[in-house]
Amino acid sequence: MKFTYCPHCGSKAVLKEIGDEGLMPFCEQCSIPLWDTFTTCIICAVVNEKQEVALLRQGYVSATKYVCVAGVMKLGESAEETAVREVAEELGLSVSKLTYIQSYPYEKKEMLMLGFRADVQKADFQLSGEVDAAEWVPFAEALEKLREGSIAWQLVKTVIGAS
């Protein structure tokens, strides 16, 4: 989010030179810079002991491609807590091991996605209402079901060790 008005007092921001940052929105009333903000989210490649990854169908995301478990961090929640919660909510699975992979800026939606590998025991899914369908996909077939170049595709490619 880019600020035009101060979220604290409502005054119109002015552009001010802020150190190495250059010109930025600044509230003269509150004497504070108004840094651009983004939503912090997690994205998980959920994998099982049989070298399979859980891929989801969510019609509001794509009618043709699969996605990974993802969700917004809640206030007071760590990224790791969010990842475990989202896997449980969306798939009904318990994470036995969680490994941070890397972050992915998603400028189009003003998000920062924190990517994880979530290890689980293979089980039937208990899907949330926001997931249309999910399936276990062998590592060798996973990338073709994801939109090439997407954050989910990049994460799964790293997790399964594809070149």
Q: Pick the closest to residue 87 from 111, 40, 51, 123 (CA basis).
A: 123
- C-alpha distances (whole Å) from 9 to each of 2, 5, 24, 30, 144 are 16, 8, 17, 7, 50
Over range 37-43, report the average pLDDT.
95
Over range 120-146, report the average pLDDT.
96
Asked if residue 24 has pLDDT above 80, the reply is yes
pLDDT for residue 162: 67
More confident residue, 75 or 1: 75
More confident residue, 19 or 59: 19
Asked if residue 99 has pLDDT above 60, the reply is yes
Band the pLDDT of 106: cuts 50, 70, 90. Answer: very high
pTM: 0.87
